Structure 1
């Protein structure tokens, strides 16, 4: 162990046509999760593809994993935020004086109301979760980003990290409904995510059905780089606070060259606020109801 610190730093492809904005869109929240694949494979060109798609979609919140900053490489989340006109928040296990820092980030269209983060156990796995509370169309929302372990094939480490994440949510979400996104390095139906499924929609399944959520058209590991591709990048939404309207992959086609945006595909979701339950405890199930 190297005196591991949690540091939270605030610094300030093509796909389907952009979704049609429905009537009453002020009641919806659009979120994207994407693993950036740090600076691999011509980041400047990949960055341009990512910016083009995110500018087209204009989501309310963007959840990023494998975000890197290094000598000669400005923080990737900061670079995306500057081009998109978003606020950004970066969390890392690396100390702030280190030149090379690696972690997760949250980008929001609105300025954060609160923010924070926590290391996930075991500490020598260098995994970190971050959170931001912001207002979307006059409603407070607390969003979380995580990137879980991929080396433990038993899933026990991920299960512990999910427990840490749920503890963080319980301590920080306040009265705001919760959205969670990231690279979970496991499929949404895995045993280690059972506690998440008990409290949150798997947005992709809620929108597309189970039968359409576990085949080649739904994987989020890019098969160009990962022959054993699976759907491991997820967005979870509090069941008592949101109804899932749409969910689909993005950045899942190469640009001419060819050049891919990442070794992961992104996931875009549209959530509708439930008018009858705008707040409530994020840890309580709704009544009746990854690299």
Structure 2
């Protein structure tokens, strides 16, 4: 049995700017893309219903899952997930630390049932492939916070190990680090941290085209914060990722990345969805020995 999954991640930029117009644009694009797994960052609790209205997605905001209310969450928002199939939250991880006390974004880990794309026998429902672990993190944002991000990705791999299923884990979010940073190098198996190693596939590296910058001066909504936080011209970075669990930890299954591209990177009618661009990854998921299916045409 094989199925196709579409994964989307987007930093929503809370309620800054014309929040109503941006929410409508994000909602329209989610309806068009019809994703199966969505990771959203910087979302206020009251925003989530409008973002996923009419999409058929089941949403959970971090405020619904934890008694913890990190500082500034009412201003900068928190993490949310939305899934095509109803999900079960397995754990909520608070990533704040001594050098990052003001990070209001909790990490959500959820178990999501995966169903075959279509039945082999018309009219006969196929059994589910099983649960897949979907993790939605956000790490520390400051340029000088790579040590905190190292600590945070180590905690992410511990979280993943606690709830890992046989199907490859999918992790998507705003990691606030470019691909050459130690935190991302660790996740992609290029270096160790604290004597530890791991490996996830970076969906953009597998099937993306071009640099894949998601936070760029080319986006007017990002330009002001780039000036405040970076103060250098021409700043463009790839901060948003979709990671796929490795065969080393999922030997019996696969999640092949068929296509990865940017989303929310245009401004219809002059409206930008966010200060970040999003990432969309199309995956083919199944058990080793299963027959592949031809991926549907991307929309």
Q: TM-score when scaled to structure 1?
A: 0.76
The 1:265–1:99 alpha-carbon spacing in structure 2 relative to 1, beyond 3 Å, is closer
| Whole-Å separation in 2 of the counterparts to 1:204 and 1:39 | 28
Q: What are the Cα deviations for residues 187-207 of structure 1, in whole angstroms up to 9, with x where unaligned?
A: 123212222102111001100
**Equivalent position of 1:202 in the other structure:** 202
**Equivalent position of 2:29 in the other structure:** 53
| Whole-Å separation in 1 of the counterparts to 2:210 and 2:113 | 30
- Choose from 232, 236, 242 the match for 2:243: 236
What is the CA-CA distance between 1:63 and the residue it aligns to? 0.5
| Whole-Å separation in 2 of the counterparts to 1:239 and 1:43 | 38
What is the CA-CA distance between 1:121 and the residue it aligns to? 3.9
| Whole-Å separation in 1 of the counterparts to 2:289 and 2:164 | 15
- Choose from 112, 116, 125 the match for 1:134: 112
Contact kept, 8 Å, 2:58 with 2:82, in 1: the verdict is yes
* 1:219 to 2:194 alignment: no
SS of the equivalent of 2:137 reads: strand
What does 1:1-291 align with in structure 2 at a 5 Å threshold?
27-69=3-45, 74=46, 76-92=47-63, 94-95=68-69, 100=74, 102-122=77-97, 124-126=101-103, 127-137=105-115, 138-139=128-129, 140-153=131-144, 155-198=146-189, 199-208=199-208, 212-214=209-211, 218-222=212-216, 223-224=218-219, 225-226=222-223, 227-240=234-247, 241-256=254-269, 258-276=270-288
Q: TM-score when scaled to structure 2?
A: 0.74
Q: What are the Cα deviations for residues 84-114 of structure 1, in whole angstroms up to 9, with x where unaligned?
A: 2211111157539x99372101101111144
Contact kept, 8 Å, 1:254 with 1:261, in 2: the verdict is yes
Gaps of 5+ in 1: 1-23, 279-291
Contact kept, 8 Å, 2:132 with 2:165, in 1: the verdict is no
What is the CA-CA distance between 1:274 and the residue it aligns to? 4.5
Gaps of 5+ in 2: 116-127, 190-198, 224-233, 248-253, 291-299
Give me the CA root mean square deviation: 2.4
The 1:38–1:95 alpha-carbon spacing in structure 2 relative to 1, beyond 3 Å, is same
| Whole-Å separation in 2 of the counterparts to 1:99 and 1:268 | 26
SS of the equivalent of 2:172 reads: strand
The 1:134–1:144 alpha-carbon spacing in structure 2 relative to 1, beyond 3 Å, is same
